[in-house]
Amino acid sequence: MKNEIFTVSLAKNPVISLKVEPGHFTTSHFHAAHYLDLNNLKTNAFLAKEVAIELALPYMSTTLVDTIVCMEGTEVIGAYMASELLQEGTYSINMGRDINIVTPISNANKNLMIQSNKQDLINNQNIIVLVSTVSSGITIGSALEYLSYYGGKIVGISALFNAYPEKQDQKIHSLFTSKDIPGYQLFRPGECPMCKVGLKLDAIIVHDGYIKIHCFD
């Protein structure tokens, strides 16, 4: 199988791009024919800032924000997003306010938790939840449930990539969706066409990367 990496750029700001690697991948829930490398957008300060400017746009003039809850390594983007929302300007509804960045921890069952001393930043606060990828919606669903339980008011959800833009109950502001990636599809392990033709798995997708289990050639 040929694994030619290609790049997909954001039409309105092409400096923002992601690398797409075709192959046979597995996550804990799905098999996929593509691996999306979003790392650069999260760790490179220049790119993270560009991403943050785009992600802040839908909230700029309309949405009061107190806290950005950053999951899946999105803290750098979250900080730039806060700075963008707070900047002076005619359309800046958050100007002069405070915005805090909270990074949850997760327990052994991968459930989200917020440290007790940070719960004031959730209770009765206007919250944007920022994630890297929305695929099954399970992670985001349990995060919203948890934050609501602790009295947080969710005013927006933002993601770098949304695999199922039509399927979610909530509006998710995402940079890229599966429509931007030619042929992108997720499969339940039992229904994966690559497995059905006996194709070996190339790698396991883990947090912020993948682990090869089969030589790419």
Contact set with Zn ion (CB under 5 A): 31, 192, 194-195
Closer residue to Zn ion (CB): 96 or 198: 198
* Cβ 131 vs Cβ 74: under 8 Å: yes
Closer residue to Zn ion (CB): 3 or 115: 3
Task: Give residue number: closest CB to Zn ion.
Answer: 192
What gap in Å lies between CA 148 and CA 127, rounded to an integer? 10
Closer residue to Zn ion (CB): 7 or 28: 28
Closer residue to Zn ion (CB): 63 or 185: 185
Least distance from C-beta 23 to Zn ion, angstroms? Answer: 10
Least distance from C-beta 191 to Zn ion, angstroms? Answer: 9
Q: What is the phi-psi region of residue 23: left when phi exceeds 0, alpha when psi lies from -120 to 50, beta otherwise? A: left
What gap in Å lies between CA 210 and CA 177, rounded to an integer? 20
How distant is the alpha carbon of residue 60 from its chain centre?
A: 19
Least distance from C-beta 208 to Zn ion, angstroms? Answer: 22
Least distance from C-beta 21 to Zn ion, angstroms? Answer: 15
What gap in Å lies between CA 112 and CA 135, rounded to an integer? 17
Closer residue to Zn ion (CB): 182 or 189: 189
Cβ count near 116 (within 10 Å) = 7
Least distance from C-beta 44 to Zn ion, angstroms? Answer: 31
DSSP 3-state helix, strand, coil percentages of the chain (rounded to 5)? 25, 30, 45
What gap in Å lies between CA 61 and CA 57, rounded to an integer? 8
